[in-house]
Amino acid sequence: MKTKMIFTVLAAFAVTIFGASGALAQNAKMTGSQTDLQFLDMMLMHHSDGVKMAQMGVDKAQNADVKALAQKMADGQQKDIGEMQKMRDEHFSGQPKQEMMMVKKREMTSEMMEKMAEEDMRKLEAASGAEFDRTFLDVFMKHHQMALDMSKEETSRGKDAEVKKKAREIISVQTKEMGEMKRLKTRVAAKG
């Protein structure tokens, strides 16, 4: 009888200890990957807004080069969305959606990002002709800069190698696109 009671107490103790250590391990993993998860969730939202704005560029741009770049950006960001969603599903399944990320030591929330996107969309909707092309390039350069800042944060603070690799790809692609937009802006401004 005494042996059975000791065994029951030891079993309960083991379940408690191993259960707690499993929870601690899960929390430690989550803490180590918090930046990665924040990056994926915030960048998925950012790219989704980018695809909408780029599509507007495809539909409304006057300049053929602006229109072609808008299509290229829409396609590229749509591809990124699929890849990042897959990473999120594989590495962070069941984790709650993240609504903020530290960028340049400041808190960037999904609500702030959504307000900026709405303001940018209003600017694009209101513009037409050559003014649209200039506005589109201005808006998208600002949009890309935010993506670059978020991606640099991930490369310096993230833990997941696959997510960091995606952040480096975004930096590479969007830095080149920023250069294209600056060159196009000079040409569009000259045509006036």
CATH at residue 136: 1.20.1260.10
Average the pLDDT over 29-33 and give the result.
47
Amino acid sitting at position 162: E
- Same domain, yes or no, for 27 and 37? no
Query: Which is it for strands 106-109 and 100-103: parallel, antiparallel or unpaired?
Result: antiparallel
Average the pLDDT over 163-184 and give the result.
97
- Same domain, yes or no, for 12 and 37? no
100 vs 15, more confident? 100
- Same domain, yes or no, for 58 and 131? yes
184/173 Cα distance (integer angstroms):
17
Residue 24 pLDDT grade (very low, low, confident, very high; cuts 50, 70, 90): very low
Whether 16 shows a pLDDT value over 60: the answer reads no
Q: Supply the pLDDT for residue 71.
A: 98
- Same domain, yes or no, for 153 and 96? yes
Q: Supply the pLDDT for residue 11.
A: 46
- Same domain, yes or no, for 82 and 171? yes
Whether 136 shows a pLDDT value over 70: the answer reads yes
- Same domain, yes or no, for 97 and 38? yes
- Same domain, yes or no, for 48 and 140? yes
- Same domain, yes or no, for 97 and 143? yes
Q: Supply the pLDDT for residue 154.
A: 96
Domain of 104 in residue numbering reads as: 33-191
Tokens read off for 83: 């890849």
pTM: 0.81
Average the pLDDT over 60-80 and give the result.
97
Q: Supply the pLDDT for residue 190.
A: 75
Q: Supply the pLDDT for residue 146.
A: 96
The region of weakest confidence among 17-26, 125-134, 157-166 is 17-26
- Same domain, yes or no, for 93 and 16? no
Whether 17 shows a pLDDT value over 80: the answer reads no
Q: Residues near 8 by Cβ (< 8 Å), separated by ≥ 6?
A: none
- What is the dihedral sign for C-alpha 29, 34, 36, 42? positive
57/190 Cα distance (integer angstroms):
19
Average the pLDDT over 60-73 and give the result.
97
As for how many domains the chain has, the answer is 2
Averaged confidence pLDDT in the chain? 87
List, for residues 80-120, the tens digit of each pLDDT value: 999 999 999 999 988 999 999 999 989 999 999 999 999 99
- Same domain, yes or no, for 8 and 61? no
Distances (CA, A) of 9 to 3, 20, 21, 60, 148: 10, 16, 18, 73, 56
- Same domain, yes or no, for 25 and 89? no
Q: What percent of the chain has pLDDT over 90?
A: 77
- Same domain, yes or no, for 52 and 104? yes
Do 150 and 108 form a contact (C-beta atoms < 8 A)?
yes
